[in-house]
Each structure stands twice: as C-alpha cells, then as structure tokens.
Amino acid sequence: MQRFAISTSMRSSIRLVLLAATFAALLAPAAAGATQRSKLVAKEIDNATLGRSVLTTTKGHTLYSLSAETKGRFICTGACTSTWRPLLVPTGTKPTGPVRLGTIERPDGRTQVVFKGRPLYSFSGDSKVGDVKGEGFKDVGTWHAVTLARVTPPQPQPQPENPYPY
C-alpha cells in the first residue's frame, strides 16, 4: 500500500481554500437579502366619506381588495385589470407602507402587493385623492377600500367638582 504525502505548503493551500469556501457560504445569504430593495408603495389617509382611515397609493388614491380573492386565488385578470389596477412592484422589491405589506406573483408573472394576504388594486373610477367610488362594488365578489384600525386615544375622564373650592 502506497502512502500519499502532503507537503506543508499544500496543506496550507487546502486550508486556505476551505476557509475561503466557508466564508463565502456564510456571506451568501446576507448578500442575497441585501439585493432586495424596499420601496414605499402605500400611505394612510383619513377618509371623510367612509369615516375611517384607508390605505392609499403614495399619490393618495384609495386601495381596494376583492372579497373573493383569498389564499392566492386570482379573480381579477385580463380585462378586469383595466378597471381595477393591480398595485405592482418589480420582482425582488419589498413593499413598505404604514402597515405590513407583502407580495404575490400574479398569473401573468408580475409581482403584486398584498395586505393581509389580499392583492391590492386601485380603481379607475377614482379620479381624485379621497375618492372611494369603488367601495361596495359587486361583480364576482365585493370590492372594499382597505380600511385600517384607528387607535383612538383615551378620552380624559371628567373630574368631580370640589364642593369645597376654598
């Protein structure tokens, strides 16, 4: 049986290669996450018509969701998207706003923003900031403006009058 001898310089080279490979493997996930861009896509506006705070595009147009679109099921495709415009972001973009947002891949491959698992859309009938003309619209489901829970500060309690003011 012949024994294979490794020189000291070859051992050092192997160790260096293994160390570099280990270092690269540790950095790869961090580098992959670093390439994801964040983009502000929504804001919150008080809507007088609804008497609630609603989620809007950065330009102030109300965002809606369709009641029938749940668990990754898309109803609004094709011609529907000319009336109900999907809120889209480039692939790999993390949408941000006043609430936690996510993304889902549409059937056509584009990336759409979601809130609480529901895809978000703007309505072509809303022409100005604050319009909610799509609220309650019924077709294959019901369209609703995305309303946000408003935290109301506690009201100060009235203090009893002191019967002895002096």
Domain, as residue range, for 49: 37-148
Tell the residue number behind the tokens 């489901």, with chain if given. Answer: 141
- Residue 113 counted as domain residue: yes
Give the distance from CA 142 to its chain's centroid: 22
Taking alpha carbons only, the member of 39, 76, 44, 38 closest to residue 57 is: 44
d(Cα 97, Cα 56) in Å, to the nearest integer?
Answer: 9
The token pair at 65 is: 């969701």
- Residue 129 counted as domain residue: yes
Quote the pLDDT of residue 13: 66
- Tens digits of pLDDT across the chain (166 residues): 555 566 666 666 667 665 566 556 655 554 455 567 999 999 999 999 999 999 999 999 999 999 999 989 999 999 999 999 999 999 999 999 999 999 999 999 999 999 999 999 999 999 999 999 999 999 889 999 999 976 455 566 666 676 676 6
Query: pTM value?
Result: 0.70
- Residue 6 counted as domain residue: no
- Residue 160 counted as domain residue: no
Quote the pLDDT of residue 36: 72
Quote the pLDDT of residue 149: 74
Q: Nearest 10 degrees: CA dihedral of 22, 27, 28, 30?
A: 150
Quote the pLDDT of residue 64: 98
- Residue 84 counted as domain residue: yes
How many independent structural domains does the chain possess? 1
- Residue 25 counted as domain residue: no
Quote the pLDDT of residue 81: 97
Quote the pLDDT of residue 151: 47
Quote the pLDDT of residue 7: 65
- Residue 93 counted as domain residue: yes
Whether the Cβ atoms of residue 98 and residue 148 lie closer than 8 Å to each other:
yes
